[in-house]
Amino acid sequence: MASSEAIHEQALDWAVRTGDPAFTDWAGFTAWLEADPAHAQAYDAISASVAEGAELLRVAGPANDISASHEPVSQAPVSSRRRWLGGVLAASVALVVGVGLWQRERADLYEIATAPGEIRTLTMRDGTSIALSGQTTIELDHNDPRRARLKHGEALFTVRYDADAPFRVAVGEDRLVDIGTVFDVRLDRQGMSVAVSEGAVQFNPDAQNVRIDPGQRLSHDIATDRYVLSAVAVGQVGEWRQGRLTFEQASLERVASDLTRVTGIPFSAGAPGGKPASISGSVLIAPIRKDPQAIGDLLGLEVIRTADGWSLAPL
């Protein structure tokens, strides 16, 4: 079920779209309304606020409201009413303006996604290069080539450094600010990690404010909200682009997730049986694409064919 914030955002989207004379997706709008009673409630609330603001603007009259009668009028109630109207109108206008700004901001954003096993390289107009691994989604801004949001997967950033306009990457709730050149970012269900091969990256400058230098990896566990700095060979940063994966004390889930992303073949983590598996080793991707069972001898795993792909388990 979507959160109230997500539903509110969807309702704003529909409110803006249905207000467009060129809007035609009434079937989609109806399906969204009927999917959850909260959808209609959120949409009605937004529409009512905007309509109330418009009506108040119509009936409030000019600021210097002069009665048509020559009878003296009490100034205190009028002043109080105007203050009340001013507050409501300001809120309504703020909502309308906010919807417009939100619509323009949403229009400036766009997503690029890759399929499992696909690698795609983007070149931004500022000279920055972003290589997307398989099963990766990134959000970019038409008006600001110095910002990006990694929504899922893994990407290697080769950034043209600009001290006056640092490159910023949003990764879940975390924020990365480039103060260098080359870094690899990954986001999945287990958390976020960033590894640097050149220059440096600042992790959450407004919170933890941790500097990540070449040969370092910062891993942020979503479940515990803890982060760990560890060493990584510079040559391993973004090595998936050269067709290799290296695991160091990785979980079965990590191995399965990475293999699925880079090969396009569905791998899953089987039941470990005893204590959680800790897997280390380096493998070439091409041979695994040809024969998924080859990963077994390379990493000491049992590879079992399933209906949906391949299951990995410790030997």
Mean pLDDT along residues 229-237: 95
pLDDT score at 274: 54
Q: What angle do CA 159, 109, 132 make, to 5 degrees?
A: 45
Pick 304 or 59 by higher pLDDT.
304
The pLDDT score that the predictor gives to residue 34 is 81
Pick the residue with more confidence: 200 or 223?
200
Q: Dihedral of CA 18/22/26/31: which sign?
A: negative
Q: Residue 51: pLDDT above 80?
A: no
- 86-90, 205-209, 299-303, 304-308, range with the lowest pLDDT: 86-90
pLDDT at 67: 40
pLDDT at res. 153: 96
Q: Could you tell me the pLDDT band of residue 307, with boundaries at 50, 70 and 90? A: very high
Torsion of CA 72, 76, 80, 85, to 10 degrees: 20
- Nearest-CA neighbor of 187 among 228, 147, 138, 145? 138
User: Does the model's pTM come out above 0.85?
Assistant: no
Mean pLDDT for 199-218 is 95
The more confident residue out of 302 and 74 is 302
Please give the average per-residue pLDDT across 232-258, as a whole number. 94
Mean pLDDT for the chain overall: 82
Cβ neighbours around 311 below 10 Å, total = 19
The full set of domain ranges for the chain reads 4-57+84-108, 114-234, 243-314
Domains 114-234 and 243-314 share a fold: no
Q: Are 106 and 87 in contact (CB under 8 A)?
A: no
Query: Which CATH topology does 243-314 take?
Result: Phage tail protein beta-alpha-beta fold (3.55.50)
Cα separations in angstroms, 59 against 13, 79, 164, 206, 311: 28, 16, 49, 46, 68
- Weakest mean pLDDT among 25-39, 95-109, 294-308: 95-109
Q: Does domain 114-234 have CATH number 2.60.120.1440?
A: yes
- Position 279 scores a pLDDT of 92
Quick: pLDDT tens for 97-134: 455 544 444 558 999 999 999 999 999 988 899 999 99
CA 256, CA 290: separation in Å to the nearest integer? 16
Interstrand relation of 267-269 and 191-198 (parallel, antiparallel or unpaired): unpaired
pLDDT digits (tens, 9 = 90+) for 161-191: 888 899 999 998 899 999 878 999 999 988 9
pLDDT at 77 over 60: no
How confident is the model at residue 69, as a pLDDT?
41
pLDDT tops 80 at residue 47: no
Above 70 in pLDDT, residue 58? no
